[in-house]
Chains A and B, each alone.
Chain A
Amino acid sequence: MDQDPLPPDVARSLDLFVREAQAALGEDLVAAILFGSAAEGRLRATSDVNVMLVLASLPPGRLDALREPLRLAHATIRLEAMLVLESELAEAAEAFAVKFADIAVRHRLLAGRDVMAALKPTPAAMRHRLKQILLNFILRTRERYALQSLREEQVPRLLADCAAPLRAAAEILMQLEGRAAASPKEALETLARESGADRWTQALAHLSAARESAVLPSGAGAPAVLALLDLAEALRSRANALPERP
């Protein structure tokens, strides 16, 4: 996986956080894993930094010791920590199959042992979660479109928020179809091309622009959101057509 260097402030804060977590949790810290855009080396100024701390156990008091380092890292680099017991991992991977499948593909081990290597959500769980994510995206985006799209300046943010669920869903869909993509972004572009030729090309370009600069040409944002809803429907149909294998 891509190992682009992290921005210096992020690297410094992460290093500090991991050292403090090791001091606070001791032997109970099984692994510290960086995932999401930071792990991919595509961190933006507005991105969260996602870290999973896998714990052997969490005796009372240990969480208290983690409060200061976590608050600091959250303040400095918007670090979002998932605190999961090793015994909960398999269940969590089934419950949040798409997220864990994504982590399995895109992560960096910061400390401890790579527990993700042996963890793979079942195809049934991934299929189920994929459908759930796409339907949830469609329902939420419809509402947000109705609420926000009359204010043109709000639309780029709405559009930018479409990226994560759609790209993650596309990557998982390709995996379930037995294929691999270099990145979630590429997966979405590939599936969009396959499903509708050039139908969604412009919307995807606006999606990237909204994430890059939060500014779109006047009148471009709202049609792009509607086009992405259409693309999500197409992905959902494709997900529904997947063979029901265990």
Chain B
Amino acid sequence: MNPFAWSGGKFLLFYAVVAVAVIAFVAWRARGRSDSRVNVTFMTSDPYRIAYLRGDSAEVIRVSVFNLVDRGLIELREDGLLVTVRKDAESLVRRAIDRAVLAACFAGTAPEALVANEALLREARAYGRDLEREGLLPDAPTRRSRLAWLVGALAVLVGVAGVKAVVALAQGRTNLVFLAILTVIACLFAARASFRRLTATGKDMLDDLKVLTMRLLGRAGTLKPGGASNEALLLAATYGIWALPAGAFPFVETLYPRPRSDGGGDSGSSGSDSGDSSCGGGGGCGGCGSD
């Protein structure tokens, strides 16, 4: 019953089972437990929090720009620049990110430049910190804990494969390619499972918000521009600006053309600012939109 003495195919099957168990364990640890104490009104009272939870800092800026254009506080000129239309515009908005966007547009700015504007990104990242405080995104200790569990998982995955490699080599067998490939794949999956962008609370919150706005999404085609209600903002924050009907909000496509790969609902969740909520152990971990 010593698995390390098993032949190639049988051991690979054994290794695959071990890998699945390790990855499942890491994913379970990374998800954590959902905390139902976080009130949904914490999110709905500032829809930019929803935009950040679903996307990233750049998405918060996109939603803010959309909101301000819709309210008529920013205008998209024919030369393609966004310009703040009123000198007192900053006094008409309540949120810091809106004020920052208005300030950035006084001299005229291209929409794409806004989502790369460091001052705006800094303002938007404050939402990330809010969400971390509420346990909706992993905070530093959580990320460290995830990293520790990942290191353990990698040690198991690489260790088991290494022992088998040593045993095989001692028996004069050198065909270890499949085992090496399987080990690399298992390690990549373990890393991906470790660095989920959202916590369990965050994922449940996003699901709850989608239930809450189901009807709003269903009647998106009837929304009217002008910012008289918060319907368009809530929809844009929850599902992305491209969920808005192009007929009523034609400027959305001009501001930020829909990426070709974007099939529908959610927008801009591909993590353009890696400094926000990455895995603590460096880049390249976990797709932002994968939760």
Q: Which residues of A contact B (CB under 8 A)?
A: 8-10, 12-13, 16, 20, 45-46, 68-69, 71-72, 74-78
In the A-B complex, the 8 residue pairs with the closest CB atoms:
A75-B231, A9-B214, A72-B44, A75-B234, A71-B230, A9-B211, A76-B212, A76-B216
Q: Are B219 and A13 in contact (CB under 8 A)?
A: no
Q: Bound state CA distance, A108 and B229, in angstroms? A: 27
Q: Are A76 and B219 in contact (CB under 8 A)?
A: no
Q: A71-B229, A78-B219 are in contact. List 13 more A-B contacts (CB 8 A).
A: A8-B211, A12-B212, A16-B212, A45-B215, A45-B218, A46-B219, A68-B41, A69-B41, A71-B230, A72-B44, A72-B234, A75-B234, A76-B234
Q: How large is the interface on B (under 10, 10 to 19, 20 to 34, 35 or more residues)?
A: 10 to 19
Residues on B with beta carbons closer than 8 Å to the beta carbon of A71: 229-230
Q: Which residues of B contact A (CB under 8 A)?
A: 40-41, 44-45, 208, 211-216, 218-219, 229-231, 234
Q: How far is the CB of B142 from chain A (nearest CB, A)?
A: 28
Q: Are B212 and A13 in contact (CB under 8 A)?
A: yes
Q: A72-B230, A75-B230 are in contact. Are A20 and B218 (CB under 8 A)?
A: no
Q: Are A9 and B212 in contact (CB under 8 A)?
A: yes
Q: How far is the CB of A79 from chain B (nearest CB, A)?
A: 10
Which of A45, A68, A76, A77: most chain B Cβ within 10 A?
A76
Q: A45-B218, A75-B229 are in contact. Are A12 and B211 (CB under 8 A)?
A: yes
Q: How far is the CB of A206 from chain B (nearest CB, A)?
A: 23
Q: Bound state CA distance, A76 and B209, in angstroms? A: 10
Residues on A with beta carbons closer than 8 Å to the beta carbon of B229: 71, 74-75
Q: How many A-B residue pairs have CB under 8 A?
A: 45
Residues on A with beta carbons closer than 8 Å to the beta carbon of B218: 45
Q: Bound state CA distance, A16 and B216, in angstroms? A: 16
Q: Are A75 and B40 in contact (CB under 8 A)?
A: no
Closest to A69 in B: B41
Q: A71-B229, A71-B230 are in contact. Are A76 and B215 (CB under 8 A)?
A: yes
Residue among B45, B214, B231 making CB contact with A68, cutoff 8 Å: B45
Residues on A with beta carbons closer than 8 Å to the beta carbon of B40: 16
Q: Bound state CA distance, A12 and B216, in angstroms? A: 14
Q: Bound state CA distance, A77 and B213, in angstroms? A: 8
Residues on B with beta carbons closer than 8 Å to the beta carbon of A72: 41, 44, 230, 234
Closest to B46 in A: A68
Q: Are B44 and A78 in contact (CB under 8 A)?
A: no
Q: Are B215 and A77 in contact (CB under 8 A)?
A: yes
Q: Bound state CA distance, A71 and B232, in angstroms? A: 12
Could you pull out 22 A-B pairs where Cβ atoms are within 8 angstroms? A8-B211, A9-B211, A9-B212, A10-B215, A12-B212, A13-B212, A16-B40, A20-B41, A45-B218, A68-B41, A68-B45, A69-B41, A72-B44, A74-B229, A74-B231, A75-B213, A75-B216, A75-B230, A75-B231, A76-B215, A76-B234, A78-B219
Q: A71-B229, A71-B230, A72-B234 are in contact. Are A78 and B41 (CB under 8 A)?
A: no
Q: How far is the CB of B242 from chain A (nearest CB, A)?
A: 19
Q: How far is the CB of B60 from chain A (nearest CB, A)?
A: 19
